[in-house]
């Protein structure tokens, strides 16, 4: 959901790039803004220095949160807090979390973007707006209802002058192999990933890529350099729902589509020897790695 550690105050951009908030500090649903329009909400986020880039402001204005909130929750669209959507089985993150994620992702025109656990599709659409027509934004989710809702809401923006033809959605589990064997420049994860699974997310990053994801109780910024080595910075304490892991049956079914796979380094933070050993083991079946952590 994204809960800030300091009661009664949203953190500034400086807070979001700090190393780590002490774990013993209390958590609170720290929002202080409830406006009447998307413009007022965006102005409040910018006033609190949650973003600085004009392209982020433009995206937040052109792709309003209200367009991605179900009608039954429309009255909460401009409140800076997460929304629980029981009819869809997921939550919509608070606007301040999207602002922080977009800032730390350093999105730019022409990049490829993956949104894991895309839910209502708002974050995917925001990224699609920023990367532009020469870039791409893909949202994936295990919820068929969520995928249909998100796709429909993106299409609804076209008559309003926002034609996001570079934004697409797919129903699948991120921990199962992508049949197209794609990689992305930037990745955002909208649910918490366990430590033993995070290497599977890093494998989806292109060299030079950035990922923002909750890992356990921390929001983490991960970077993969040009040689495949990765590093992490803990941005802040958070509380998110967990990514759903695939079942043994789903893993075996996915593996059966192509047993001859090319495996990428299965380490979240690679040493030179780990990177070399991982490449030497490239013929290892992905099913054995997945089953070992299920």
Cβ count near 94 (within 10 Å): 23
Residue 170 in tokens: 């797919």
What is the C-alpha to C-alpha distance for residues 170 and 161, in angstroms, rounded to an integer?
24
80 Rama sector, left if φ>0, alpha if ψ -120 to 50, beta otherwise: beta
What is the b/e burial string over 37-46, where b = at least 16 CB atoms within 10 angstroms of the residue's CB?
Answer: ebeebbbbbb
Paired strand residues for 83 = 92
Active-site option among 16, 26, 93, 112: 93
Our answer to whether residue 93 is catalytic in this structure is: yes
What is the C-alpha to C-alpha distance for residues 285 and 251, in angstroms, rounded to an integer?
11
Give whole-number Cα distances, 216 to 166, 224, 284, 286, in Å: 32, 20, 28, 24
What is the b/e burial string over 260-294, where b = at least 16 CB atoms within 10 angstroms of the residue's CB?
Answer: ebebbbbbbebeeeebeebeeeeeeebbeebeeee
What is the C-alpha to C-alpha distance for residues 122 and 38, in angstroms, rounded to an integer?
13
Instruction: Note whether 76 and 36 are within 8 A (CB).
Output: no
What is the C-alpha to C-alpha distance for residues 59 and 3, in angstroms, rounded to an integer?
23
Q: Which positions are annotated as active-site residues?
A: 93
């Amino acid at each position: 959901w994204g809960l800030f550690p300091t009661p009664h105050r949203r953190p500034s951009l400086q807070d979001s790039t700090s190393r780590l908030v002490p774990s013993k500090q209390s958590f609170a649903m720290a929002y202080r803004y409830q406006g009447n329009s998307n413009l007022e909400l965006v102005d409040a986020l910018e006033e609190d220095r949650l973003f600085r880039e004009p392209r982020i402001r433009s995206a937040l204005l052109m792709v309003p949160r209200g367009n991605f909130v179900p009608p039954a929750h429309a009255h909460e669209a401009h409140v800076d807090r997460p929304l629980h959507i029981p009819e869809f089985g997921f939550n919509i993150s608070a606007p301040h979390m999207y602002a922080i994620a977009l800032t730390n992702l350093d999105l730019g025109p022409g990049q490829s973007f993956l949104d894991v656990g895309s839910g209502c599709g708002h974050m995917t659409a925001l990224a699609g707006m920023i990367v532009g027509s020469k870039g791409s934004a893909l949202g994936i989710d295990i919820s068929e209802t969520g995928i249909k809702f998100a796709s429909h809401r993106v299409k609804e923006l076209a008559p309003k002058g926002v034609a996001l033809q570079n934004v697409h959605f797919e129903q699948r589990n991120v921990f199962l192999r992508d049949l197209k064997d794609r990689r992305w420049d930037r990745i955002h994860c909208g649910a918490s990933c366990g430590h033993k699974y995070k290497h599977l997310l890093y494998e989806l990053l292109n060299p030079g890529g950035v990922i923002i994801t909750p890992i356990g109780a921390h929001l983490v910024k991960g970077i993969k350099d040009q040689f495949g080595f990765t590093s992490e910075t803990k941005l802040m304490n958070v509380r998110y729902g967990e990514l759903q892991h695939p079942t043994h049956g789903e893993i075996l079914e996915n593996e059966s589509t192509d047993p001859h796979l090319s495996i990428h380094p299965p380490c979240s933070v690679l040493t030179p020897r780990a990177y070399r050993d991982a490449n030497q083991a490239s013929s290892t079946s992905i099913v054995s790695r997945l089953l070992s952590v299920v």
